[in-house]
Chain A
């Protein structure tokens, strides 16, 4: 059974810091992995998607990496800003057909001005 873990559960950093969020999964047989952002009381916004054959994806100040063999992904946020404060969730998709995602519990990030 696939399990997804995100560490730390919460993180507080001063503005301008570079930071890394971690995601680990127990079964390396994944189709792809998505990173999402969730603001309080809102739905999830897709940030980055990495296919199982890829090593990393970048979007602006965000960079996500994937090491499928070790069951790990990281989300790197450069030059953090207060607007980055949110909960970040990672999710793995086992196969392409039904598309069910298995989510981690999330990391709640606070960037202090």
Chain B
């Protein structure tokens, strides 16, 4: 079976500090991977998606970047955090079957920028 992991679970960082959030998927190969952000009281916003190693598409201009150094690893980074980067960050992958594509989410990382 497939499993998606995210770490850390929670993170408190000062403004201006760097950020690295990691997501890994087990039990599948070449998945499409996604980073979403869920700000307090708001819906999910797609930040980045990747269809393969080194292939990153950005959905919105922002202070964040993403990388995919390995097939099942997706990293969200920032060189200098802003207060507005606070939120709940969710990694997701698409399971492909003979009939459809279904998205599954990781447990999330709660980021608080102080």
Binding site for B on A (CB under 8 A): 31-32, 34, 36, 41-46, 49, 51, 89, 91, 93, 96, 98-101, 103-106
Contact = CB atoms under 8 A, between A and B. Distances in A.
Nearest to B104: A46
A9 to B, nearest CB: 10
B87 interface: no
A49 B103 CA distance: 9
- Chain B interface extent, by class: 20 to 34
Interface of B: 6, 32, 34, 42-44, 46, 49, 51, 57, 59, 88, 90, 92, 94, 99-108, 110
Which 8 residue pairs spanning A and B have beta carbons closest together?
A: A44-B105, A99-B94, A43-B105, A103-B44, A105-B43, A43-B107, A43-B108, A103-B43
Given A41-B110, A51-B100, 16 more contacts: A36-B105, A42-B107, A43-B6, A43-B90, A44-B105, A46-B102, A89-B43, A93-B101, A98-B51, A98-B57, A99-B32, A100-B46, A100-B59, A101-B44, A101-B46, A103-B44
Judged by DSSP, the binding face of A is: strand
Contacts of B46: 100-101
A80 to B, nearest CB: 24
B106 A43 contact: yes
B72 to A, nearest CB: 16
A51 B88 CA distance: 29
B49 A98 contact: yes
